[in-house]
Amino acid sequence: MNKIQIKSKLNAHFKGRPRYYEFTQTASIKNATNFISGHIKRSTRQYDETTALLDIGRLDYLLRNIRRELSWHFTELEIQVLVKSLNGVPLLPDETDFSLDSICKHFHISHITYRLSKFVPLIAKILKLSAAQKLALADAIEQAWTKKMYGDSAVEFIRSLGIEIAKGEDEVKRRAEEALNTIKPNPMYSPPFAYVNLGVQE
């Protein structure tokens, strides 16, 4: 398919959807055509199914590896809050970076006074994530919302993706302490050794 065909397919997909999908449509078409422009085969001037499958496969590989990094970051209650806050509204491509404005919009709070809200700890956790981790989180939360609509547990679905969820903040802290304790100091870089080699005296 070429860019015109891709745009036509996306327009058909969003036809008849609620009004809030209009922004999703525009952003999706823009990002999709931008991506395709760099992956069109020179020989055929087309974006074929083989290339699409490879690109999707690479995305899946990235998400599977990044998901593990999200383990023990969030509690069961926080996952439930995130799933409920999205309320089935698809995230725009540029919203998957979970900027402060984007997060506050979904929580229905002001980005100016958000520090006075009960969401501060959760927002702080999200803002500390890398861009890839935020993308993986957005993908997982969107899938979990769909599963929840069919009666499945959103938290258990997140766990099925390989993301470990803590039952509460105490478990989050305990896991962090366990991880910290597994890091052993390197004797080669202990202060006495450094001082001797550099001729530095205390």
Rg (CA), the chain: 22
What value does the mean pLDDT take over residues 86-103? 78
CA atoms within 13 A on the CB side of 18: 4
pLDDT above 70 covers a percentage of the chain that reads 64
Quick check: 195 pLDDT over 50?
no
Burial of 37 (0-12, 13-18, 19+ CB in 10 A): exposed
**Nearest of 22, 158, 38 to residue 92 by alpha carbon:** 22
| Neighbour count for residue 175 (Cβ, 10 Å) | 15
pLDDT of residue 175: 75
